[in-house]
Amino acid sequence: MKKIMLLGSGELGRELTISLKRLGCTVIACDRYENAPAMQVADRSMVFDMLNEAQLRAHIQSVDPDLVVPEIEAINTQVLLDVESQRTIVPSARAVDLTMNRDRIRDRAAEIGLPTAKYGYAENLEEMLALYNDMACKVVVKPVMSSSGKGQSTVAAGDGAAAQEAWHHAVENMRGDRPKVIVEEFISFDYEITLLTVRQKNAETVYCPVLRHQQVDGDFKMSEQGTFEMGALEATAQDMAKKMTDDLGGFGLFGVEFFIRGDEVIFSELSPRPHDTGLLTLYTQNLSEFDLHARAILHLPISNIAALRPGACHTINAAQASPDYGVEGLAEVEGMRDVEAMMFGKPDAYPNRRLGIVFAPDVETATAARAKIKLTYASQ
């Protein structure tokens, strides 16, 4: 029985824990706060700061896991690089180190020849404004380390005041201790996609049907699968995803994001783990992204990936901070044909925190179902 140390215990970690336990694993769920979603279904839990080198190193030593599985960005990756000779880091310590910071993964994508937006980095406001002025175009400003699009802003050309606000927003929402932002050309794209790419030890790389997703202020809100066609562009995206994941190495599921503009496929970002847009696969596929990740990291065969039905999802986000919250409208949503709601079990709320999601056959139905959900908040 494999012992898994899960670093990060949010909703993605919860579903991965369920998949791993179905395959006989023992899971120790770790995060910086108590009663995180994965902790509610894991065998054991630990609360500590995973950016703290001494704490992370000591806890890995005390747990002595077979596999260390990162689920979030805010991790001291140097510790993972140091301990990889004694245990397996998923998908690999190098992959985690490169992808935890947008500057490193963007640079690597450009080095291996993937098309990307124009970009640059800044470590203070003056550098950021100089870069913004030099680019002389609409840009996206975001921290090099953050999660779920937090700290991201779009700034039109020639708006210095908005650019300054974007710097402060990025720094206030960054993870880790790196006051560094990426400033990239805004791609006027037709749509964005996530290609869930599964790298295996004993078989070829395989792919899930492509997901199209929508973001609001850089944060994932909706995705759909099996409701649209990409034609030959899907094969182009697969070739690019394989090139990137082969370069990173290791085994497991990667969420590779692209912009689609006309007949162009442009690399955006990559996560070396299950992806938030892929929550939809719990509804649409025979094996969810969590099942696939679990099988790949345990070196178990994946016989096939089948789309059972088309679908779409819409997140349920908090509107305010509250130590407790309630959910109204679930009965009405569950009464809709082929619609499912899922709450993540997070212990409290803060503005825009993702607390749940609804699944439906199409975007219109998912949007209608989400509108029926009302969150109520405890008085402060």
Question: E strand or H helix at 143, and its extent?
Answer: strand 139-143
Asked, for residue 98, whether it belongs to a domain, the answer is: no
Q: What is the CATH number of the domain that holds 15?
A: 3.40.50.20
pLDDT of residue 218: 72
Asked, for residue 143, whether it belongs to a domain, the answer is: yes
Catalytic-residue membership of 120 = no
- Structural domains of the chain, count: 4
Judgement on whether residues 369 and 342 belong to the same structural domain of the protein: yes
User: Given 19, 92, 268, 277, which residue is catalytic?
Assistant: 277
Dist. CA 48–CA 369, nearest whole Å: 37
Residue 96 CA, chain-centre distance (Å), reads: 13
Asked, for residue 267, whether it belongs to a domain, the answer is: yes
Judgement on whether residues 181 and 193 belong to the same structural domain of the protein: no
Give 364's DSSP letter.
H
Catalytic-residue membership of 62 = no
Q: Which amino acid is at 172?
A: E
Domain boundary among 185, 201, 219: 185
Contact 36, 11 (CB under 8 A): no
Asked, for residue 144, whether it belongs to a domain, the answer is: yes
Judgement on whether residues 305 and 193 belong to the same structural domain of the protein: yes
User: Given 17, 88, 92, 147, which residue is catalytic?
Assistant: 147
Catalytic-residue membership of 269 = yes
Catalytic-residue membership of 273 = no
pLDDT of residue 176: 65
Residue 164 structural domain = 118-185
pTM: 0.93
pLDDT of residue 149: 66
Contact 319, 350 (CB under 8 A): no
Catalytic-residue membership of 147 = yes
Asked, for residue 97, whether it belongs to a domain, the answer is: no
Judgement on whether residues 84 and 124 belong to the same structural domain of the protein: no
Per-residue pLDDT tens for 215-247?
Answer: 887 789 999 999 999 999 999 999 999 999 999
Positive or negative torsion for Cα 259, 175, 73, 33: negative
Catalytic-residue membership of 247 = no
Judgement on whether residues 144 and 222 belong to the same structural domain of the protein: no
Q: List, for the chain, all residue ranges whose pLDDT scores fall below the cut of 50.
A: none
pLDDT of residue 60: 98
Domain boundary among 140, 169, 185: 185
Domain boundary among 288, 309, 330: 309
User: What three-state secondary structure class fits 109?
Assistant: helix
